[in-house]
Amino acid sequence: MEPNKSFSIIAKTCTLKYNSQKNGETIFGDNIKYIIPIYQRSYSWTDEQIRKFLSDIFLGYWGSDGNIIKEPMFIGTMQLAEKDLERKEQQVIDGQQRLTTFLLLLKILKMEFPDCIELASIHFDWLETKVNSGTQQNDLNQLLSFNTFEEFNSNLNIYVNNALYIRNILSELIAEGENVSENETEEQFNADDFTNYILSKIYFVVIETHASLSKTLQIFNAINTTGLDLNGGDIFKLKMYEYLCDQNKEANEETKIKFFEQISGIYEKIDTKNKELGWVTDIFGVLEMYKYILVAKYDLPKTLYFYETNRFFEELFDTISNTNRWDNFKSIKEKGLTLSLIELEEIIQSRFQWHLIYKSVPTAEDACSWHFIWWSRYSRYHILVYLFTYKFNTEEDFNSKLFLFKRQLSKLFIIYSIRFQKLKSEIYYSFMYEVLDTMMNKSSEELIKLINSKIGKVEDHKGWYDIETILNGDITYNAKLKNIVCRVSAMLEEDYTSSDMKICNNLFQLPIDIEHIQSYHDSNGDKRDDIWNEWGDDINSIGNLMILEQDKNRSISNNLYEFKTKVYPTSIYGIVKKQATNYSDWSIDKCRERKIVEVNKILNYLFN
């Protein structure tokens, strides 16, 4: 990574209007207009925050005993962008809540004390907000236009509401200070004196950053001490806005506003869809998909697939803007990487499309295959199903292709979850990279062919970690292996090609246990050693195991087989009912007979 040092930070101590400190500066100096940029959140201080703000000011002014002491007050750090000397403007990165509340306080003081000389020279055009495409500024202008308190009648305007609250708290705090004062003069509060205190004794540390928006936001996150932190979703919105502005350097202010409105519209679309369908995803889920798409589409280093989403886009935008040049992104310019709001819109559309498709899956197997992907050792690649929907959703007969892809992907993950009791790097890394590359750059037919070729035949999975040997042996030593095998076995005893979704719900939503038909811990403790010696690994094999409702399993405990067969017929699972029907008694020979059937059944399903 090569750091870009073409930025600077200037820190200074400021007051609002009068500053007696050496080299001190003021907010009102140079007639600068402070701009709250379009990408900021709305003004949102609550009654609680305003009360604390004013109480702190009055504590510095009154002191603790009501005697005016005018103790200097530090009100925190503000961050401003570099001044635009031509326009005489400066953007507020951090501090809009405090600056806006000061504006409201001065407005109320001027209305309450019209004869105050200090307030007579105060104007209110030093702060402007561009948030929400001008609607916030309209609300602020409404308040600033009021000349009498009778005009304060809009409870939908936060500036008006907060100004009224400031008026009430102001009266309350003035009265409290006068009541505890030891000074017996009739009027202890002086509006000119108090206003002068606000303008001269309340200090800010102003950090002025001369940098790109990306770097400015990094600095903001490092120093922010008040208000709401920017999260990853906020930062992507801002950096995407900066990216679009940079790509369109000739864009005027109106066009830039449209850029931000388009980005905000993406966020709003996600919220609207979530309200309509129930929660499906958020901006982070969408950006996670976009990360995979960009890495595959532009053949970026594969390690980027495993970057946390915020880090991925932070380093990508850093490299694009030359704020920092990260090694894994150094090729993006020569590869022509571009970001697109259209792509984001398509990702969102496809993500919600998948949600609706899943709600109407054609068969129980299609529903179960989704759960098997999640239950496998490769669950992080469930995202491949979302990406398939994004890439191929306009193709003819898309739904059939999607469900075929999902079923085969499920089988692949089941096979490798059975064979290897940990992640197989061949699958987790190199083969998944090939799958992603094929998905983004080739046809759906080629992709499904690739998955099928990796599934292959039973013979391709023999030898080292032989799948048939594993299925014939003890499968209880690994919980994931045991649960996957027993659920596949149970599904295959149901009418899984039907549209009966209860099959999937029963397998994956209900609490179940894995039942030992011959109890591992036999109820007759004296026989346990003999049973273990006789049965060996067969007692923990698929021949002696099946799923069973948790309550039924615990009700039969470790009882004899004769007792269990009275309960098995009441189960909802076909495999359990079949056990009671096919085997009137139970022995190691019948276990081995059943094991052959079960293993062949599972292998036929996976490789057919």
Q: Among residues 181, 202, 227, which one ends one of the domains?
A: 227
> Does 103 score more than 70 pLDDT?
yes
Do 221 and 249 share a structural domain? Answer: no
Q: Among residues 196, 227, 258, which one ends one of the domains?
A: 227
Q: Among residues 320, 355, 390, which one ends one of the domains?
A: 355
pLDDT band at 154 (very low <50, low <70, confident <90, very high): low
Whether 551 is in a domain gets the answer yes
97 vs 21, which has greater pLDDT? 97
Distance from C-alpha of 146 to C-alpha of 168, rounded to nearest angstrom: 17
Helices 383-392 and 341-359, packing angle to 10 deg:
110
Q: pLDDT by residue (tens digit) across 488-539?
A: 999 999 999 999 999 999 999 999 999 999 999 988 889 999 999 999 999 9
Residue 227 has a pLDDT of 44
**Dihedral through CA 57, CA 61, CA 64, CA 66, nearest 10?**
-130
Label the pairing between strands 73-81 and 89-94: antiparallel
Distance from C-alpha of 422 to C-alpha of 425, rounded to nearest angstrom: 9
CB-based burial of residue 453 (10 Å sphere; 0-12 exposed, 13-18 middle, 19+ buried)?
A: exposed
Do 286 and 156 share a structural domain? Answer: no
Q: Is the separation of the CB atoms in 241 and 211 below 8 Å? A: no
Is residue 205 classed as helix, strand or coil in its secondary structure?
strand
Residue 219 has a pLDDT of 66
Mean pLDDT lowest among 13-17, 77-81, 132-136? 132-136
Whether 68 is in a domain gets the answer yes
**Dihedral through CA 255, CA 217, CA 304, CA 324, nearest 10?**
100
The residue behind tokens 């069973």 is: 548
Q: From the CB of residue 548, how many other CB atoms can be counted at a distance below 10 Å? A: 28
Distance from C-alpha of 369 to C-alpha of 375, rounded to nearest angstrom: 10
Distance from C-alpha of 550 to C-alpha of 552, rounded to nearest angstrom: 6
Q: What is the mean pLDDT of the chain?
A: 91
Question: What is the residue range of 471's domain?
Answer: 459-608
pLDDT band at 185 (very low <50, low <70, confident <90, very high): very low
Q: pLDDT by residue (tens digit) across 393-410?
A: 999 999 999 999 999 999
Distance from C-alpha of 246 to C-alpha of 240, rounded to nearest angstrom: 10
Q: Is the separation of the CB atoms in 239 and 113 below 8 Å? A: no
Do 69 and 141 share a structural domain? Answer: yes
Residues in the chain: 608
> Does 29 score more than 90 pLDDT?
no
Domain total of the chain? 4
Closest among 207, 208, 210, 206 to 7, alpha carbons compared: 210
Do 283 and 258 share a structural domain? Answer: yes
Report percent pLDDT > 90 for the chain. Answer: 73
Whether 157 is in a domain gets the answer yes
Inter-CA distances, 474 with 142, 375, 543, 545, 583, Å? 76, 20, 10, 10, 22
Q: List alpha helices for 360-495, DSSP H.
A: 364-375, 383-392, 398-419, 425, 432-441, 444-455, 467-472, 479-491
Do 184 and 133 share a structural domain? Answer: yes
Strands (E), 53-197: 73-81, 89-94, 127-129
